[in-house]
Amino acid sequence: MQDQANFFSRLRQRKVFRIGTMYVVGSWLLLQFGEIMIEIMELPLWIGRALVVILALGFPFVLLLAWVFDASNQGAITANGDSPAENSGKRIDTAIILF
């Protein structure tokens, strides 16, 4: 039980929930705009479906990047406390290789 509480406190500390919420709200706004534009421009319906799929597939990647790079007032900080310039992109390289 302690490990689970520690995990959720780390997620809150790294602002993963906040970034996930912002992604969902931004996606919703984009879908609303896309629905209007698809109707006005008389585009095929598959474009709207493709937009939903792309946004849904992007959500886990946004959460992963939110975990790897801690968003702070001083800029992005990696999990071990280094700035991305000091870390020389090793974390992002690992994330790209894994996915």
Residues 6+ apart with CB under 8 A from 84: 69, 75, 76, 78, 91, 92
Note whether 13 and 69 are within 8 A (CB).
no
Name the band, by pLDDT with cuts 50, 70 and 90, for residue 38. Answer: very high
Overall domain count for the chain: 1
Predicted structure pTM score: 0.66
Q: How confident is the model at residue 73 (pLDDT cuts 50, 70, 90)?
A: very low
* Confidence band, pLDDT 50/70/90 cuts, at residue 87: low
Q: Which domain holds residue 60?
A: 2-98
